[in-house]
Amino acid sequence: MIQDVRSGGEPFKRLFFAFSLAEPQRRAIAQWRRALGLRAGKPVPVENFHVTLLFLGDVPAAQVPALCAVVDGLKRPAAPVRLLLDRLHTWRRPSVLVLEPSDTPVALRQWVYALHQALLPLGIADQARDYRAHLTLSRDYPGEPPEAGVAPDFHLNVRQFGLYESRKGRYLPLAEWPLSGA
């Protein structure tokens, strides 16, 4: 298992929780993005499309099993999450072009908050911020969102989520869980 090492010699992984997308959803979003005719920014590879739940950042590799154990015991929503990505927006501070919902379901916000709280005893995810569901289309994107010929209208019925490692531009799944139940 390849790992990055901090200056002190401790191996770490750059981690986040996310919903993955089914291949037909990825293709549809990629086709819609192509129609935008983007001339700026760095497009996110289609295989990396996901809806971010919680970014953890650099986590000691030794903590990954404990992190997974916490998530194993976490109560999840009773039903699959339905999310409509219907808004094209730019986030200026990280300079990204994103698809986001006009309205994030309350159950999803509550669940992400519970996930965040469950990880606090591990010293992970200690930066509290309002959850903003999103799918990044392009990085290093300057300015306003482009005019879309067709409004975004991507319905996601999310049934599982995963823990991913960001490694050299690729997102590698480390663990997956069903979203509903538990």
Residue 68's H or E segment, with its range, is: helix 64-72
How far apart CA 175 and CA 59 sit, in angstroms, is 15
CB 150, CB 32: distance < 8 Å: yes
Residue 50 · residue 135 · CB < 8 Å: yes
For the chain, the C-alpha Rg in angstroms (whole number) is 17
* Alpha-carbon span 42 to 137, nearest angstrom: 9
Q: Of the candidates 108, 125, 138, which has an alpha carbon nearest to the alpha carbon of residue 48?
A: 138
Active site residues: 50, 134
Say if residues 176 and 72 touch (Cβ distance below 8 Å): no
| Alpha-carbon gap, residue 113 to 170, rounded angstroms | 26
Q: Are 19 and 158 in contact (CB under 8 A)?
A: yes
